[in-house]
Amino acid sequence: MIIHLQVFCYALNFNAEHYNLNMSTKKRFAIKIEYDGTNFMGWQAQPNQRTVQSEIETALEKISGKLTRIVGSGRTDSGVHAIAQVAHFDTEIDLSPNKMRLALNSLIDRDIVVIKCVEVKDDFHAQHDTKSKTYEYRILNRCSESALRQLRAWHIRSNLNIKLMREASSYLVGKNDFTSFCRKKSLTPCNVRTLVSLNIEENFDEIILRITADGFLRHMVRNIVGTLVEVGRGERCPDNLPVLIESRDRRLAGPTAPSHGLFLVDVDYGKDIFE
């Protein structure tokens, strides 16, 4: 415990007397996390793999001296980024939320940053309390590649017809069975989800698809994007989407868009737990 205390105090550049390491009172913290998914094998901890969850848990173990599990709002795949992932964990270390944030950021690599940390009620659950999530997918739509965005957007040279893509996307909004857009080997017993909104916007040379739903299946966003890109290229008619949804056949949908264009941008709990 003394060794962990020394490491912790050194990382925060404070003296030990500033800390009351009361190990008798359990606290639950919620953290908002930003990360670059390029060098991670996704969110979920896996043996002998670098993941976001395992990196944060390793830092927490250095702080508390024991294994501390964290629960995320959901998984993100290898290469997927996050602007506002949310997770919770329990600890008996008596630290303020801000000092916990500073401690974590001092012990994790720079491709993960804990943006906010708050103490929450002990019945808060980062995954089960989620009302909806929002993802953004970014497409770089121009002839030349980008030195700065090659790991932040899917580069497509051919001009995409956004009007047709928007027309096709309208069929996806609402409560639907999204079997045609989930990973073939998905173990989810029910593939019905409510897609709240799907907006497609142009921002200079980028096309940004912003999708909000009450839940997402594995690869659902990326498969939707791959299908809408086919529409934008003129390879699929917009009115094919109802037929595709009804078919519940992944083989009939478009390709899975690359993971590096995808960002988790918001997790909604019905209120701002970080205010």
DSSP output for 117-151: EEEE-TT--TTTT--EEEEEEEEEESSS--TTTTT
DSSP 3-state assignment of 26? coil
Residue in 77, 109, 214, 268 annotated catalytic: 77
Nearest to 85 by CA among 37, 122, 120, 150: 37
Q: Band of the pLDDT at 185, cuts 50, 70, 90?
A: low
Q: H-helix or E-strand containing 154?
A: strand 154-156
Pairing of strands 132-141, 154-156: parallel
Token code pair at residue 119:
């103490």
Looking at domain 132-268, does it have CATH number 3.30.70.660?
A: yes
Q: Band of the pLDDT at 190, cuts 50, 70, 90?
A: confident
Residue 49 dihedral angles phi and psi, to the nearest 5°:
-130, 145
User: What letter represents residue 230's amino acid?
Assistant: E
Any bridge partners for residue 134, and if so which?
A: 212, 266
77-102 burial, b for 16+ CB within 10 Å, e for fewer? bbbbbbebbbbbbebebebebebbbb
Query: Under a CB-based contact definition with an 8 Å cutoff, are residues 209 and 199 in contact?
Result: yes
Query: How do residues 67-80 score in pLDDT, each as one tens digit?
Result: 999 999 999 999 99
Helix axes 52-64, 2-12, angle to 10 degrees: 110
At residue 6, the pLDDT reads 43
Domain boundaries, the chain: 2-120, 132-268
DSSP 3-state assignment of 217? coil
Pick from 12-26, 93-107, 108-122, 191-205: least confident: 12-26
Token code pair at residue 106:
């001092």
- Rounded to whole angstroms, the Cα distance separating 148 from 137 reads 16
Q: Is 77 a catalytic residue?
A: yes
Inform me whether the pLDDT recorded for 186 exceeds 70. Answer: no
Compute how many other C-beta atoms are within 10 angstroms of the C-beta atom of residue 250: 19
CATH topology of domain 2-120: Alpha-Beta Plaits (3.30.70)
Whether the domain at 2-120 and the domain at 132-268 fall into the same CATH topology: yes
Nearest to 55 by CA among 73, 43, 72, 38: 43
pTM value is 0.90
Query: Under a CB-based contact definition with an 8 Å cutoff, are residues 115 and 86 in contact?
Result: no
